[in-house]
A and B are shown apart, each in its own frame.
Chain A
Amino acid sequence: MIERNTGQIVGINGNMITVKFDTFVTQNEVAYAVIGDKKLKCEVIRIRGANADLQVFESTNGLKIHDMVEFTDELLSVELGPGLLTMVYDGLQNPLDRLAERTGFFLERGLYMPPLDEVKKWDFTSIVKVGDSINAGTYVGRVPEGIYTHYICAPFDLKGTWTVESIIANGSYNIREKIAVITSETGDKKEVTMTQRWPVKIPITCYMEKVSPEKTLITQNRIIDTFFPVAVGGTFCTPGPFGAGKTVLQHSISQYAQTDIVIICACGERAGEVVEILKEYPQLEDPRTGRTLMERSVIICNTSSMPVAAREASVYTAVTLAEYYRQMGLNTLLLADSTSRWAQAMREMSGRLEEIPGEEGFPAYLESLVASFYERAGLVKLNNGSLGSVTIGGAVSPAGGNFEEPVTQATLKVIGAFLGLSRQRAEARRFPSIHPLESWSHYKSIVDEKMIEKARQTLRKGNEVNQMMSVVGEEGTSIDDYTIYLKSEFLDSVYLQQNTFDAIDGASDEERQKHVFTRVINILDARFNFKDKEEARKFFVELRQIFIDWNYMKFKCDKFQYHENSINSKLKEFAHA
């Protein structure tokens, strides 16, 4: 038996322990603090002389000086393999429903369970044959996982070229069974199963190259896809004060985004919000596949009252799972709510380490950590030539709703689309409350850029007129300016705003958006003959009503067509030819 590498606790400060180690330790390796018959998982986060500082993923209550710590020599890792989809994990990949079977209502510390079903049999079909050469990430075989083909990849950490020495016959196997043996050029042998472990803080890089994201990721949110699009393989953030609608927006995207896999990372937020997903997604249908939404989702849930260090780990766990499915040539979308809680977890730890703080107490390396997290997104060309992607969207919860704070600023430097949520819009119940004048995106919209510019101009001018009006009053405003204002309000209420909770209005696909937006632009372009402002106001109120009704109708159904005609005839009442 191998001698265990151990150490002794010499200091305890909140969820950080200082350990005097006996032989050696590795940065970011996992260790266990022993308390009675329990072992509490920790991670080495700093080494100084003969002492290592460890963050403990559990409550440290009851630990004492001189208590033993066992080091594992393994970096904090997750297990990757078939059966991840539909699972609900905590930040360290413990399956929550199985924990509940074991311990009932409460999460017990020191209890860790295998993340994947070890008994379930999967229908394995081999892809390689004896004598084939393989590299890290080569598809060895495949199993069906729900609606997807789950490729069993050669270990991502293989160095050089290996040869398949044996491969199991096609058939049903569980994840613990050996399916292949491979040998290296120097004669080392390795057994391969359907799963592998991967350290969460290190990106999986088994691909040829990153290519630049071109395609728009359809989220079915009009203001996003049309005005502030997100690309497949891109990054975006949704900062906003509390109650502005970040979570509702993320849920809507997770439900309607046209992507293969969704990884939802509930990081330091409310447990109740996760429960809604847990109970509803198994019932909701994904129209693209006809299966439930749960079948394309993995949920990582480390809510605000769960241990803080595990919250820090949770975003890495989530992005690693996203990268894993990307390796199969799938498009994955990671939604993290909220990245600020992750940053705060780092701040807490940095404070305990007594590091020199940056702004608002955040560590000086905040920016680089935020950057390297979003860097794990991307569209990649895999070694077999196919494409796969990870898209990352992070909610940000700035203190006081002020976007000048460090986490928002660090995020803005690295993301491709900024969807800023505004308190004013949320209070005016203008949802989704994405600010149309302050947000931006570097990605390509689904509609023609010229049309968007037209719409933007209307919004800008309308805003100016509105501000002017609050000074000089309606009487002092010309009818032309007033009409511009009405047009911008019209655009806002029929297109930018969307009823997230309505099955039809809440999800608008690409074709519909293009169709409806063209109609909206027609109206913005039209020149009207109004007798006075009252007439203009009345006209737009009525037009808006018809238009909103139209938004609630199924695309291209008879009623939809008919209603479109009434919009046209309404328009003719006052518009010039």
Chain B
Amino acid sequence: MRKVYHKILQVSGNVITVEAEGVAYNDLAEITTKRGVSLAQVIRLNHNKVYLQIFAGSRGVSTNDEVRFLGKQMQVSSSENLMGRVFNGAGEPRDKRPAIMEKMKEIGGPSVNPAKRIIPKRMVRTGIPMIDLFNSLVVSQKIPIFSVAGEPYNPLMARIAMQAEVDVIILGGMGLKYDDYLYFKNTLDEHGALTRTVMFVHTASDPVVECLLVPDMSLAVAEAYAIEGKNVLVLLTDMTNFSDALKEIAITMEQIPSNRGYPGDLYSQLASRYEKAVDLEGAGSITILAVTTMPGDDVTHPVPDNTGYITEGQYYLKNGRIEPFGSLSRLKQQVNGDTRKDHRAIMDTMIRLYSSYKETCEKQSMGFKMSNWDNKLLKYGAFFESRMMDLSVNIPLEEALDLGWKTLAECFEKAETGMKTDLLNEFWPKT
């Protein structure tokens, strides 16, 4: 069913209205303008009026442009041949190689039956103590990096992707700076990971709403691979751009905003993407690592706020470090009991002492007298920041645990750590 229509009734924001019959909800159309051909999607039907969201934006759309309905929903190939390839926000090749049309599947498919999920139990090792030791990442976890603009969140993400032992990496870039895109590409290449990577890249110079399809395409491909038994890591950067694109469409459609202009269904929209993270019974898995930039470093901003309510914790990146406070892996307890028996104790003790160190810092800044104990904490805090928090540290978990003991022993008496006696006897470094 390929019909051509000329009657564009209205252009408003990136939404146009045309008159048409027999069009299905959510179907795709192509609009041909002076600027070229763009995909559009049906977002509302009212009698014979069809509202279309134009992914390339409405700039230059003229009332006598051609709109052609494709009679199908947005699809993406789930073929193995996607690996090593780069596509744009509309799913077209961006690497000048031919399009792939085999094993096409609809994006935004139904959710996994909760009865077919299993409890995640496998740890992802990253070599970053702030993750492995303090907030372990788990296969099938969905977790964002909360960060203000300008922090090295993309390098951090790339580094985790390189260390993680996964079968496939899928990069979904939304509003990605071209430099960052090249950075990802080069890093993947250096590590020989490019051939097991699929990229859907919408860059900062592409039309804003074109990024809306990126998470769904990335996750549809991930889902197909996971069903075949693969462990897939999906990187989504930056979900705040995705949310802003949603906001733009909502405002155009004159929807009543809930909070700072964001639509009332922002939670559901984000959740339907993040919830694709899954460990499937008898098949593979999808782990989602995302970036959420926080305008004004404000966690109560609607995007990080709604995200936090959906994801299984967050890594809070600030001043080039993963902050122990504000970061949380909600799945860590699923794995950190089976690593080494001092893992949980070291984790709790070191965080508790670091929090005391912070209090001491406050006291110090108020000009209060420093006690003997305060001085010990100050020494400890400096060690903690350089040995654990510094992102250049790259050591396996076991080494990080040993380093933790060493640090404690250098700063405190055994009893001052408040740890159980049997652990102290076994692990306290002998001098």
The residues of A with any CB-CB pair to B shorter than 8 Å are: 10-14, 18, 59-65, 88, 96-97, 99-100, 103-109, 241-243, 268, 270-272, 274-276, 278-279, 301, 303-306, 308, 341, 344, 347-348, 351, 357, 360-362, 397, 399-402, 427-429, 470, 473-475, 501, 545
| Residues on the A chain within 8 Å of B268, using CB | 268, 304, 308, 344, 348
Q: Which residues of B contact A428 (CB under 8 A)?
A: 355
The listed residue (A64, A357, A475) touching B22 by CB distance below 8 A is A64
A-B contact pairs, 25 of them (CB 8 A): A10-B46, A10-B47, A61-B73, A61-B108, A62-B73, A63-B24, A65-B21, A97-B115, A104-B116, A106-B109, A106-B112, A109-B110, A243-B308, A243-B313, A243-B330, A270-B312, A275-B118, A275-B119, A278-B114, A304-B271, A305-B272, A344-B267, A399-B302, A470-B362, A545-B418
Whether B332 sits at the interface, judged by CB under 8 Å, is: no
Known contacts A348-B265, A397-B309; A105/B112 CB under 8 A: yes
Q: How far is the CA of A275 from the CA of B113 in the complex (A)?
A: 10
A106-B112, A270-B312 provided; 13 other pairs, C-beta below 8 A? A65-B22, A88-B115, A103-B113, A243-B328, A243-B330, A271-B278, A304-B271, A344-B267, A360-B258, A361-B256, A399-B258, A401-B305, A429-B352
Check B392 for interface membership: any CB of A closer than 8 A.
no
**Distance, CA A115 to CA B283, complexed state (A):** 28
Contact B44 A304 (CB under 8 A): no
* A241 and B305 alpha carbons, distance in the complex (Å): 9
Q: Does B45 contact A (CB under 8 A)?
A: yes
Q: How far is the CA of A310 from the CA of B385 in the complex (A)?
A: 48
Chain B nearest Cβ from A540, distance in angstroms: 13
CB distance from B261 to the nearest CB of A (A): 11
Is the CB–CB distance between B119 and A473 below 8 Å? no
Minimal Cβ-Cβ distance residue in B for A98:
B115
Question: Whole-angstrom distance between the alpha carbons of A427 and B312 in the complex?
Answer: 16
Within the assembled complex, what's the spacing in Å between the Cα atoms of A108 and B106?
14
* Contact yes or no, B113 A100, CB < 8 A: yes
Tell whether, in the assembled complex, residue B275 and residue A105 are in contact, meaning their CB atoms are under 8 Å apart.
Answer: no
Q: Restricting to B353-371, which residues have a CB under 8 Å from any CB of A?
A: 355, 362-363, 366, 368-369
Enumerate chain B residues within 8 angstroms of A12, measured Cβ to Cβ.
Answer: 25, 44-46
Taking CB atoms, residues of chain A closer than 8 Å to B46 are: 10-13, 18
Contact A279 B119 (CB under 8 A): yes
Evaluate contact between B26 and A62: CB separation under 8 angstroms: yes
Question: Looking across the interface, which residue of chain A has its beta carbon closest to that of B141?
Answer: A272
> Are B111's CB and A305's CB within 8 A?
yes
B25 and A64 contacting across the interface, CB-CB below 8 Å: yes
By DSSP majority rule, is chain A's interface helix, strand, loop, or mixed? mixed
**In the complex, how many angstroms separate the beta carbon of A278 from the nearest chain B beta carbon?**
7
Query: B residues engaging A (CB < 8 A)?
Result: 21-27, 44-48, 73, 108-120, 140, 227, 255-259, 263-265, 267-268, 271-272, 275-276, 278, 280, 283, 300, 302, 305-306, 308-310, 312-313, 325-326, 328, 330-331, 333, 351-352, 355, 362-363, 366, 368-369, 418
Contact with B110, one of A88, A107, A279 (Cβ below 8 angstroms):
A107
Whether the Cβ atoms of A427 and B117 lie closer than 8 Å is: no
With contact pairs A13-B44, A243-B313, A341-B267 given, residues A63 and B112 touching in the complex (Cβ less than 8 Å):
no
The answer to whether A475 and B259 have CB atoms under 8 Å apart is no
Contact (A360, B259) CB under 8 Å given A62-B26, A243-B328, A305-B111: yes
- Measured between C-beta atoms, what is the minimum distance from A360 to chain B in Å? 5
> Which residues of A have CB within 8 Å of B280?
105
Separation in Å of the B329 CB from the closest CB of chain A? 11
The 8 closest A-B pairs by CB, nearest first: A400-B300, A304-B271, A305-B275, A242-B308, A61-B26, A361-B258, A305-B111, A12-B45
**B264 touching A59, Cβ below 8 Å:** no
Contact of A60 with B26 at beta-carbon distance under 8 Å, contacts A361-B256, A400-B305, A473-B368 already known: yes
Residues of A within 8 A of B27 (CB): 62
Chain A residues in 8 Å Cβ range of B325: 427
Contact at A270–B110, with CB atoms within 8 Å? no
* A100-B113, A304-B275, A427-B325 known; A62+B308 contact, CB < 8 A: no
Asked whether, in the complex, the Cβ of B110 is within 8 Å of the Cβ of A106, the reply is yes
- Which residue of the partner chain A has the closest CB to B367? A473
Contacts of A278 in B (CB 8 A): 114-115
Are B116 and A105 neighbours in the complex by a CB distance under 8 Å?
A: yes
Residues of B within 8 A of A427 (CB): 325-326
User: Quick check: A271 and B300 within 8 Å, CB to CB?
Assistant: no
Q: Which residues of B contact A96 (CB under 8 A)?
A: 113-115
* CB proximity of A507 to chain B, nearest CB, Å: 18
> When chains A and B are docked, how far (Å) is the Cα of A398 from the Cα of B263?
16
Chain B residues closer than 8 Å to A63, beta-carbon distance = 24-25
Cα distance, A401 to B302, chains bound together (Å) = 11
Q: How far is the CA of A13 from the CA of B24 in the complex (A)?
A: 12
Which residue of the partner chain B has the closest CB to A402?
B300
Nearest-neighbor residue (CB-CB) of A338 within chain B: B309
Instruction: Assess whether A501 is in contact with B333, with CB atoms less than 8 Å apart.
Output: yes
Indicate whether A99 sits within 8 Å of B115 (C-beta atoms), given known contacts A270-B275, A475-B368: yes
A341: chain B residues within 8 A (beta carbon): 267
Chain B: CB-nearest residue to A351? B256
* Nearest-neighbor residue (CB-CB) of B226 within chain A: A105
Q: Is the CB of A271 within 8 A of B117?
A: yes
- Contact (Cβ within 8 A) B45 A65: yes
Q: Are B312 and A399 in contact (CB under 8 A)?
A: no
Please name all residues of chain B whose beta carbon is closer than 8 Å to the beta carbon of A62 when the two chains form the complex.
24-27, 73
**B156: shortest Cβ distance to chain A, in Å?**
21
A272-B308 contact given A61-B73, A63-B24, A427-B325, CB 8 Å threshold? no
Chain A nearest Cβ from B298, distance in angstroms: 9
Contacts of B328 in A (CB 8 A): 243
A242 touches B120 (CB 8 A): no
Bound together, the chains give a CA A304 to CA B300 distance in angstroms of 20
Asked if B283 and A105 make an inter-chain contact with CB atoms under 8 angstroms apart, the answer reads yes
Supposing A276-B119, A303-B275 touch, asked if A351 and B111 sit within 8 A by C-beta, the answer is no
**B116 close to A100 (CB less than 8 A):** yes
If the complex has contacts A12-B44, A12-B45, A275-B119, are A304 and B272 also in contact, measured as CB distance less than 8 A? yes
Residues of B within 8 A of A301 (CB): 114
Query: In the complex, are the beta carbons of A275 and B114 less than 8 A apart?
Result: yes
CB of B355, distance to nearest CB on chain A (Å): 7
- B119 & A99 in contact (Cβ 8 Å cutoff): no
Residues of B within 8 A of A397 (CB): 309
Contact across chains for B264 and A361 when beta carbons are under 8 A apart: yes
Beta-carbon nearest neighbor of A97 in chain B? B115
Q: Distance (Å) between the CB of A8 and the closest chain B CB?
A: 11
Given the interface contacts A96-B115, A105-B113, A274-B114, does A473 sit within 8 Å of B366 by beta carbon?
A: yes
Nearest chain A CB to B150's CB is how many angstroms away? 23
Q: How far is the CB of B250 from chain A (nearest CB, A)?
A: 9
Closest chain A residue, CB of each to CB of B227: A105
The docked-state distance in angstroms from the alpha carbon of A274 to that of B114 is 7
Shortest distance between the CB of B114 and any CB in chain A (Å): 5
Chain A nearest CB: distance from B25 CB in Å? 5
Question: Beyond A61-B73, A304-B271, A399-B305, is A106–B355 a contact (Cβ under 8 Å)?
Answer: no
| Chain B hits for A279, CB < 8 A | 118-119
A191 vs B258: C-alpha distance when bound (angstroms): 50
What's the minimum C-beta distance from A497 to chain B, rounded to whole angstroms?
13
Contacts of A103 in B (CB 8 A): 113
Are the CB atoms of B305 and A64 closer together than 8 Å?
A: no
Whole-angstrom CA separation of A545 from B419 in the bound complex: 11
CB neighbours (8 Å) of B302 from chain A are 399-400
| Contact in complex: B312, A272 (CB < 8 Å) | yes
Most buried by A among B112, B256, B275: B256
The answer to whether B26 and A107 touch across the interface, beta carbons within 8 angstroms, is: no
For residue B331, which residue of chain A has the nearest CB?
A272
